[in-house]
A and B are shown apart, each in its own frame.
Chain A
Amino acid sequence: MKILIAEDEPILLKTMELKLKRDGHEIITAINGREAIQLITDNDIDMVITDIMMPYTTGLEILGFVKSSFTKRIPVIVLSAMGQENVVVEAFRLGADDYITKPFSPNELSLRVMRFSTMLAV
């Protein structure tokens, strides 16, 4: 599966990238929202994992863009910090498929991605 990860913390971004690469996915990374939207437009992405708080363009804007611009179903997993419950509600309203609260386990992320991967394959 071709997955785009948008996260503004470089070391966390690379850790997630490595984890999902090991699971056999093709990973594209973006360090901010603007870059993420550009990469989503230029690549045939199957899934998006995005942090909510990011410079230039927020995760919610990326989510809105993905859900309104493509006919193909692209699942979006939202990463949120603790205490951002209101934002998570807003994310679901915009069509988010799942969310993970920081701090999270990379194994949990891996399993959630795998679930969507299986769903899309069916």
Chain B
Amino acid sequence: MPFANEPGVHIYKSNNFSKLFQLFLPGHKIFLLNNITHISTRFLYGAIVFFSFLTVILVSGILITVLRKKIMFDKRSMIVRQLEDWIMEVVLENASDNQSFFLPAAVSLVLKSQLAKRVLLRKLMELKKSLSGVSGDNIQKVYSQLNLQEISLKRLESKYWHVKARGLQELAVMHQDAYHEKVFELTNNKDTMVRMEAQISIVRLKGYSGLQFFDTLSYPLSEWHQLNLLSLLGHLPLSNEDGILSWLKSFNLSVVQFSLKLIGEQHAVEFHDEVINCLGHPEIIVRREAILCLGQMPSQEAATALKAHYLVEPDKNLQMIVIQILRKTGSHLDLPFLHILQNGEDLDIKLVADRSVLYLQKINGNRQIPVTAT
């Protein structure tokens, strides 16, 4: 037993573990015999000192960070206290269009610091999200009067995505149309979050014409993001000049998908023929969206197109969607077609057809049903 006379601790570990100790602590007495490692007391004292030192450094680091945050918080709170009366006066003022707001000397002095400007910008953003009308306009005017867009534009150059996103939000919320090109540049950014925020911002600033980024977009739009964009455009009427015809032919499938969603959402029947053309698209997601879109524009033409498409659609799931959509867009005239499907061999198709027949019979009441298929 070479370590029998050495004071220390016996630790039962694997050979690899002991080798690791030897690698990091050369010079310390670590003996290995079979599966037993012996660590000398000198090493244990060393370890205690080392970990104590590490703990002191860690605790000091945490304390310094907390203290810095506290100081920053106090500074911000003090600035808010100095500015809030003036902010409220400005927000509630019934200002005329070109009137600039009076800046008291004390406020002017506070706003010489960049931190104060950033704090003011944050407060204005909070208020702009809750206030509209004259107050909302006043907030925008203060933003422009104090050149706070400089802060927002600087944020766009940050290497951090969240800072960029904040800058984009500020420009959009404050309706800074003049900087739409800067926003547009980020609509095809490699960072998903920046890209999404830039796309939302450009649509907020420019409405449908903001969607011109579709022409160069090389990344897909997620389903969630498509819904976000749709909700922003929901109150604006769609027209031929908005580029929808070219987006329906885009190489980016998600752009085609979004355009179809938009047509359906707006019930834009003037694009009926283009939607029907999309039923022949080679990609399944486009065909699916075209079917759903036709369901949003109920007409006999849509029902006829869907029935014709059913016969050539290779995907069974899409066939089932067609039958479901016929409930919305179809009429008693489509019942013979559905009766044929009811008598088919596929159980899934039969079930969906049964439901559609029941639904159409219910809504058509006592109307006479033709016996021949269309």
Contact = CB atoms under 8 A, between A and B. Distances in A.
B130 A103 contact: yes
B136 interface: yes
A104 B127 CA distance: 10
A15 B92 contact: yes
Contacts of A9: 126, 130
A105 B134 CA distance: 7
A115 interface: no
Contacts of B131: 12, 15, 103-106
Given A104-B132, A106-B131, A14 B84 contact: yes
B314 interface: no
A30 to B, nearest CB: 17
Given A11-B123, A11-B126, A103 B88 contact: no
Contacts of A120: none
A30 B196 CA distance: 37
Interface residues of B, number: 18
A18 B88 contact: yes
Interface in B124-156: 126-136
B87 interface: yes
Contacts of B130: 9, 12, 102-104
A106 B126 contact: no
Interface string B290-323: 0000000000000000000000000000000000
A105 B92 CA distance: 10
Interface string B274-301: 0000000000000000000000000000
A11 B133 contact: no
A102 to B, nearest CB: 5
A103 B123 contact: no
A18 B14 CA distance: 73
Contact of A106 (B80, B87, B92, B128): B92
A19 interface: yes
A42 interface: no
A12 B134 CA distance: 15
A106 B91 CA distance: 9
Contacts of B126: 9, 11-12
Contacts of A102: 129-130
A19 B88 CA distance: 9
A93 interface: no
B88 A14 contact: yes
A108 B130 CA distance: 13
B91 A15 contact: yes
Nearest to A106: B135
Given A11-B84, A14-B84, A18-B92, A105 B132 contact: yes
A22 interface: yes
A43 interface: no
B138 to A, nearest CB: 10
A103 B136 contact: yes
Interface of B: 80, 84, 87-88, 91-92, 123, 126-136
Interface of A: 9, 11-12, 14-15, 18-19, 22, 102-108
* 9 tightest A-B CB contacts, nearest first: A105-B133, A103-B132, A102-B130, A12-B130, A18-B88, A15-B88, A105-B132, A106-B135, A103-B131
6 contacts: A11-B84, A14-B88, A15-B127, A15-B135, A103-B136, A105-B134
Given A11-B123, A105-B134, 9 more contacts: A11-B80, A12-B127, A14-B84, A19-B92, A102-B130, A104-B130, A104-B131, A106-B91, A107-B133
